Amino acid sequence: MLTCALLVAPLIAGLSGCGGSPDPLSAKPYDAADQISFSGDGDGRKADPDKPLEVTAKDDDSRITDVTATDAAGRYVRGELTDDGKRWRSTVPLAAGAHYTLKVSTEDSNGAPGRRTVDFSTSSAHRLLKVTFGPKAGEYGVGQPVTATLSRPVKDPSARAVVERALKVDSRPAVEGVWHWVDSRNLHYRPQEYWPAHATITVHSNLKGIRIGGGLYGGAAKSLRLTTGDRIEALTDSGTHQMTVKRNGVPIRTIPITTGMPGFDTRNGIKVILAKESAVRMTGASIGLGAGSYDLMVYWAARVTKSGEYVHAAPWSTGSQGYANVSHGCTGMSTANAQWFFNTVRLGDIVQVVHSNGEDMATFDNGYGDWNMAWADWRKGSAIASGQSDATPADSARLRPQV
């Protein structure tokens, strides 16, 4: 053991005596403020978010070895450093009205390390794109689409992709969904199938400060939280004059009904309950009939189109309910059944009409007909899923109650 100790001691002494000069890499970094400049520096003005961030080595005897730029949330700005270490340039847009921390590492001709850390901000945008999500927070049926209304039109496909990527929709349980551009200012979001029952849906925007294009930047948006209740579906069969109401797939009531007579045929397809009105005035004049044709107060009315199609009480037609279609487009039933239906459904619940001679429910311009579009076609309206540019603008439908 003594012999081993004697052998180790000279080795340790040799190691401590061979460091003739200190390693430059082990030295404390010096202040590199005089060796570099960056595009946001100088006269106190804020950096222009429309221009890339550039860091330059000013001296021939120094070079840049590393650059990191992060925003206030700690997200990194990607960039590229030239092979000679003389210039670094960001490769992604900076956000407007944002704060950044820039850390630059350098070395001089002797290999000694330098460091400079600076904070800077970008100027705020003058043209902001604001987003309003819909519907209002609350509990809805499983057929309720999520909507986003933009304060300015966005037509360029690449700009649409920027917007779409920033609008986030999450649900628990998770389901796949896609935004669809209804027109240049309106988007709808839905899953392939209906939302799950008793789901929680959260909607938010990451668009604030993001450059969209053409001098347009994203503005702030208020987040949205929705929940769904039981899966309520009402299947209206105009051929058999019966409505079957299901809760979570199980029939809970079959109701004798009447739908639109020839010339006023009820629209086929899937509709979503837009509103519930315990009493609403309906007149023939609102649908182009003579002023004296009818003028009624109608009760327990659930609205399914903007143009005035309802499911409501129709005590005047109980003799035809279950046997014939005699309405002006609405679905009529007894007062007791209408009150039960009114109290059972919520906004966003599904009403599907089949075997009518009427036109098909429009997808966007008369309420929420979103579910009538095939999933493959729905995805074509996404700037990300398909790269499609402009969708056909939806026309506004007149409000005209029908009986």
225-237 tens-digit pLDDT: 999 999 999 999 9
Task: Report residue 40's pLDDT band, with 50, 70 and 90 as the boundaries.
Answer: low
pLDDT of residue 289: 63
CATH 2.60.40.3710-classified regions of the chain? 128-228
Least confident of 187-191, 339-343, 389-393: 389-393
Check: pTM over 0.95? Answer yes or no. Answer: no
The span from the CA of 180 to the CA of 148, in Å, is: 10
CATH 2.40.440.10 at 232-368, yes or no = yes
Residue partners of 263: CB distance under 8 A and separation at least 6: none
CATH 2.60.40.3780-classified regions of the chain? 30-121
Instruction: Check pLDDT > 90 for residue 25.
Output: no
The span from the CA of 73 to the CA of 122, in Å, is: 15
| Active site residues per annotation | 312, 330
Residue identified by tokens 């670094």 is 88
Least confident of 84-98, 299-313, 367-381: 84-98
CATH 2.40.440.10-classified regions of the chain? 232-368
Which helix (H) or strand (E) segment is 164 a member of?
Answer: helix 157-166
pLDDT of residue 389: 40
Give the 3-state secondary structure of 195-243.
CCCCCEEEEEECCCCCEEECCEEECCCCCEEEEECCCEEEEEECCCCEE
pLDDT of residue 20: 46
Q: What is the DSSP letter of 72?
A: T
Task: Report residue 97's pLDDT band, with 50, 70 and 90 as the boundaries.
Answer: confident
Long-range contact set of residues 79-83: C-beta below 8 Å, sequence gap at least 24: 79/53
Task: Taking residues 74-95, report their average pLDDT.
Answer: 90
- Tell me how many degrees the CA angle 211-213-214 measures, rounded to the nearest 5: 125
CATH 3.40.50.300 at 30-121, yes or no = no
Instruction: Check pLDDT > 60 for residue 10.
Output: no
The span from the CA of 146 to the CA of 201, in Å, is: 9
Domain 128-228 is of which CATH architecture?
Answer: Sandwich (2.60)
Task: Report residue 61's pLDDT band, with 50, 70 and 90 as the boundaries.
Answer: confident
Residue partners of 6: CB distance under 8 A and separation at least 6: none
Give the CB-side neighbour count of residue 118, counting CA atoms within 13 A: 21
Work out the mean pLDDT of the chain and round it to a whole number.
Answer: 87
Give the CB-side neighbour count of residue 199, counting CA atoms within 13 A: 20
pLDDT of residue 288: 57
Task: Taking residues 278-304, report their average pLDDT.
Answer: 78
If you count DSSP H runs as helices and E runs as strands, how many of each does the chain have, helices first? 4, 28
Report whether 121 contacts 47 (CB < 8 A): yes
